[in-house]
């Protein structure tokens, strides 16, 4: 036989074999003996799955403070409910930036920018307001005296004298009005000299 004959025969065998090959692998019938051989998930051993495998659901967390959940992928759809920051949801599908989610209490659509696969940190508490600085209390001086501040009190005596206060003033103090505290003993217009 010539080389061309061998190549033709080879291609024919491949073509015939592929036309009889099934598109899907044969399905095994599940019998009670097969089920008894499968180990349970509780034992930790892998269990062959007899049902079609579903894609793993992605856990997402709400990142906005309060976010609307809608009945469809857009703001034109009715609001179903609202979820709060850190609420958990499972992703079902995505469409035009919107994510279909399931959550405790229902199912709906949320705009994707408000969802994250990582749980958001709790907002930091607001910093306390700065302490209010009290303006230094201005010392009130009696209007009947000048030159030194004579405090307004129940009684004022000259510092270093024999008076018992409760307030004192260092002189000399000029008396410009009525001498309420009798600081000018010699009546010359100057007290505590």
CB 70 within 8 A of CB 77: yes
Domain with 161, as residue range(s), is 140-183+189-193
Q: How many residues does the chain have?
A: 193
Higher-confidence residue: 99 or 32?
99
Q: How many domains does the chain have?
A: 2
User: What tens digit of pLDDT does each residue of 5-42 get?
Assistant: 667 777 776 766 655 545 545 555 444 444 444 444 44
Average pLDDT, the chain: 77
Residue 44 host element (H or E): none
Q: Is residue 42 part of a domain?
A: no
Q: Is residue 44 part of a domain?
A: no
Residue 95: give its domain's CATH number: 2.30.30.40
Q: Is residue 13 part of a domain?
A: no
Whole-angstrom distance, CA of residue 17 vs CA of residue 40: 40
Whole-angstrom distance, CA of residue 52 vs CA of residue 38: 16
Q: Is residue 64 part of a domain?
A: yes
Neighbours of 193 (CB within 10 A): 12
Residue 34 host element (H or E): helix 32-37
């Amino acid at each position: 036989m010539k080389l061309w004959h061998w190549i033709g025969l080879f291609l024919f065998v491949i073509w015939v074999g592929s036309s009889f090959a099934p598109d899907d692998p044969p399905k095994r019938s599940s019998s009670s003996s097969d089920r008894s051989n499968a180990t349970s998930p509780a034992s930790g051993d892998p269990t062959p799955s007899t049902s079609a495998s579903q894609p793993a659901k992605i856990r997402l967390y709400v990142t906005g403070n309060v976010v609307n959940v809608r009945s469809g992928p857009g703001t034109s759809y009715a609001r179903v409910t609202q979820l709060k920051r850190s609420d958990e949801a499972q992703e079902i599908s995505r469409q035009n930036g919107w994510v279909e989610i399931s959550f405790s209490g229902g199912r709906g659509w949320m705009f994707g920018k408000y969802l994250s696969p990582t749980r958001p940190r709790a907002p930091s508490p607001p910093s306390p307001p700065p302490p209010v600085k009290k303006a230094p209390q201005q010392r009130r001086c009696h209007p009947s005296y000048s030159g030194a501040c004579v405090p307004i009190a129940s009684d004022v005596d000259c510092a270093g004298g024999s008076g018992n206060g409760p307030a004192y003033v260092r002189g000399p103090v000029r008396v410009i009005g009525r001498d309420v505290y009798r600081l000018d003993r010699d009546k010359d217009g100057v007290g505590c000299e």
